[in-house]
Amino acid sequence: MRLLAFAFIFLFGFSSCAQSPKEKQTATKTSSATKQPSVPRDSLAIATFAGGCFWCTEEAAEKLKGVHDVISGYTGGSTKNPTYEQVSTGLTGHAEAVQIYYDPKVVSYQTLLEAFFAAHDPTTLNRQGPDEGTQYRSAIFYRTPEEKAQIEEYMKKLNATRAFQAPIVTEVAALKEFYPAEEEHQDFYRNNPNNPYMRAVSTPKVEKFKKKMEGKLKDE
């Protein structure tokens, strides 16, 4: 599938998550600052993951039962209030990430972990497909010691059972500040179905994710 994606990019022009500002302006939606989930956020739990380009990661997470909202953004670095252009240089220390608001009575943190590892390749250091750099690293940002222990235990299990062909390189770090991305990056996948990157890279990943998480997804 990855070879087909690169063939598409070669034929129709190279495209990656780090697009030009002009290309990014094709998306329109409610600002992430005012976007509200279907239930009050203070009644929901929150999880934060980074699995490469956040356009695809957001779309995969949105499909899970019990997930009420997903915000694309930046975390893990030192630059305050970073812009997309700054993060794309790889110099801010931030990763493209998503903040998931979910109902723990419907979907567990364990299921979110399973979905996270099903949605990307956690064995490639600072890279996902055509996107390369620390901003595309695989990372999980925990909020409590219990979450950290659960993450490490699950990763240990995945490595022990050889769930992947290579060892997992996912970073596990305490969450600091999460900065929501610019408006045009929220729901980018759904707002830009004909974008070359969506068609060549993101859509195959999302379809693969849906097969792996069958039975745990919202009705479409």
The catalytic residues are 53
Residue 208 dihedral angles phi and psi, to the nearest 5°: -65, -40
User: What is the phi/psi pair of residue 178, to 5°?
Assistant: -105, 125
| The 3-state secondary structure of 165-187, one letter per residue | CCCCCCEEEECCCCEECCHHHCC
CA distance 97 to 140: 9
Closest residue by Cα to residue 213 from 75, 76, 62: 62
First to last CA, the chain: 24
Q: Residue 39: in which H helix or E strand, if any?
A: none
Which of 42, 55, 44 has the alpha carbon at shortest distance from 196? 55
